[in-house]
Amino acid sequence: MSSFTRRQFLGTAAALSAAPLLSKLPAAAFASGSDRLKVGLIGSGGRGVSAMRNCLDADPSVIVWAIGDAFADRLESARDNLVNGTPKSRRPRPPVAPERLAIPPERQFIGLDAYKKVINSGVDLVILATPPQFRPEHMEAAINAGVHVFAEKPVAVDVAGVRRVISVGELAKQKRLAIVAGTQFRYSGHYIETMRRVHDGDIGELVGGQFYYLTNGLWHHDRKPGWTDMEYQIRNWLYYTWLSGDHIVEQHIHNIDVMNWAFGGPPLKAIGMGGRQSRTDPKYGNIFDHFAVEYEYANGVRVQSMCRQAPGASTRSNNERLVGTKGTARLPAAITGPKAWKFTDDTPNGLVAEHVALIKGIRNGNPLNDAKRVAESTLTAILGRNSAYTGREINYAWLLNASKENLTPETCRFDMAPPKSEIAIPGVTPLV
């Protein structure tokens, strides 16, 4: 069991209950400096380190207890970021106070099995920020060990992984352990208030919507001498469907999650298209560079999804629009129509707010559990991807209950050949 006991959690509940869910909690809310929350980071790339900093910002009792990564250079970079800050970066961050860093060499773990060592190092909470392929396995290991989880999105890359996460979520409920996902819009004040008004009927009955994630693309690591094919792919994980789920799953899930939120659950079916036009170099793996998907929700409501990663193209990222019989909602913060409204309050950083909510739930004995909800949004993204890959209209219920899709290799080692990464061809690629 974790050394951060239920008694310690409950001992601070009264102080925390006075703080709003999405407010940053002051240091004065905690009884003593010994009331520590030991957090382990699994996956120390840029998102992982940022999530660790978000957790530190959320709660002054958080300390960094352990770090694990598949690669020594990534772990060293993360450690340097935390110890020395990032004064020369585009978004400078200060060093983390020494008293909040408890990462001696014996709690710095390297290798594909580093996650096990972090989980078993005495942590209370782990941040899971490895490539999404490994998320179900790491979530399951943490919950089995009695450790709370913050899981970056998405939580799987295939149907088998989604089913595993749903099962892990049920186990977490039984064990009263928290699982909070990195779909931060659910914890952002302007999104919350706008969605409340939508659900209260301020734009009438929902009849349609559009959502977008159009970007110029992301990083790529050129191959270095000594890298095996497996290492090369894991270091460039976002370009391989078996590791990332493709960018409709890895990135566009933010907007897909918002749509599921608006409609109260996942869609009934989807039909989509996509392909590779600018991403033609084989070094960019097998993912598409654009998708367009029509999702159909209850009562026949159709919603249009578009995502693209193409250098030099126009961008429209993180944008959602809901159409109702009496008006429209432009997420995250405005409504037009008879009940026109615009959010004007200060909005706490959703990336921090999700950690505030996670830790508050742990402390007051009501741990949050996002597992099923984020698994459904992950599967909704997979639904769109698989429709585009195969050229087939696909029902959500069939995908969840009957699909045999499993992109996960039985074992994963650097000296092994990675799974085949063929580029999907609509009308040829089979539906499984």
Q: What is the pLDDT of residues 160-177, one digit of tens each?
A: 999 999 999 999 999 999
| Residues 115 and 216 both lie in one domain | no
Confidence at residue 17, expressed as pLDDT on a 0 to 100 scale: 30
Residue 265 confidence (pLDDT): 98
Torsions phi, psi for 228 (to 5 deg): -80, 170
Q: Within this chain, do residues 210 and 244 fall inside the same structural domain, yes or no?
A: yes
* In a shared domain, residues 211 and 319: yes
Mean of the pLDDT values across residues 411-423? 96
Same-domain pairing of 30 and 100: yes
Distances (CA, A) of 376 to 96, 142, 250, 372, 398: 36, 21, 14, 6, 13
Say which residue the tokens 């939580």 belong to. 155
pLDDT tens, residue by residue, 11-35: 323 333 323 333 333 322 322 334 8
Q: Assign 419 a pLDDT band (cuts: 50, 70, 90).
A: very high
Whether residue 104 lies inside any domain: the answer is yes
Average pLDDT in the 283-307 region? 97
CA distance 188 to 82: 25
- Banded pLDDT at 88 (limits 50, 70, 90): confident
Quick check: is 195 in a domain? Answer: no
Residues 139 and 213 in one domain: no
Q: Please check whether residue 396 lies inside any domain of the structure.
A: yes
Task: State the pLDDT at residue 319.
Answer: 86
Residue 357: domain span:
6-185+351-369
Share of the chain above pLDDT 90, in %: 88
Q: Which pLDDT score, from 0 to 100, does residue 7 have? A: 29
DSSP letter assigned to residue 101: B
What pLDDT, on the 0 to 100 scale, is given for residue 217?
Answer: 83
pLDDT at 59 over 70: yes
176 and 281 fall within a common domain: no
355 part of a folded domain: yes
- CATH number where 287 lies: 3.30.360.10
| Structural domain contains residue 420 | no
What confidence score (pLDDT) does residue 309 get?
A: 96
For every residue of 102-125, which 3-state class applies, written as one string? CCCHHHEEECCCHHHHHHCCCCCE
Taking 60 as the threshold, does the pLDDT of residue 252 lie above it? yes
Share of the chain above pLDDT 70, in %: 92
Asked if the structure places residue 419 within a domain, the reply is no
For residues 155 and 208, state if they share a domain. Answer: no
pLDDT value at 343 more than 60: yes
Residue 1 has pLDDT above 70, yes or no: no
Mean pLDDT of the 248-259 span: 98
Dmax (CA) for the chain in angstroms is: 64
Average pLDDT of the residues in 188-199: 97
145-163 burial, b at 16+ Cβ within 10 Å, e below that, comes to eebbbbbbbbbbbbbbbbb
Q: Are strands 394-395 and 302-309 parallel, antiparallel or unpaired?
A: unpaired
Examine the domain organization and report whether 110 and 76 are in the same domain: yes
Please return the burial class of 281, using the count of CB atoms within 10 Å of its CB with bins 0-12, 13-18 and 19+: exposed
Answer yes or no: do 291 and 355 share one domain. no
Q: Calculate the CA 276 to chain-centre distance.
A: 25
pLDDT of residue 6: 29
Are 268 and 365 members of one domain? no
The CATH number of residue 72's host domain is: 3.40.50.720
Taking each helix axis from N to C end, the angle separating 371-390 and 253-263, rounded to the nearest 10 degrees, works out to: 110
Who wins on pLDDT, 8 or 335? 335
pLDDT score for 11? 32
Number of folded domains in the chain?
A: 2
**For residues 179 and 317, which has the higher predicted lDDT (pLDDT)?**
179
pLDDT of residue 398 exceeding 50, the answer is yes
Residue 426, domain member (yes or no): no
**CA angle in degrees (0–180, nearest 5) for 46-52-58:** 135
Same domain, 225 and 128: no
**Rounded to whole angstroms, how far apart are CA atoms 228 and 155?**
26
Assess whether 23 and 108 both reside in one domain.
yes
Question: Over the chain, what is the mean pLDDT?
Answer: 92
pLDDT in the model for residue 317: 74
The arithmetic mean of pLDDT across residues 231-246, rounded, is 98
Residue 318 has a pLDDT of 76
The string of DSSP codes covering 390-402 is HT--EEHHHHHHH
Instruction: Answer whether residue 19 is part of any domain.
Output: yes
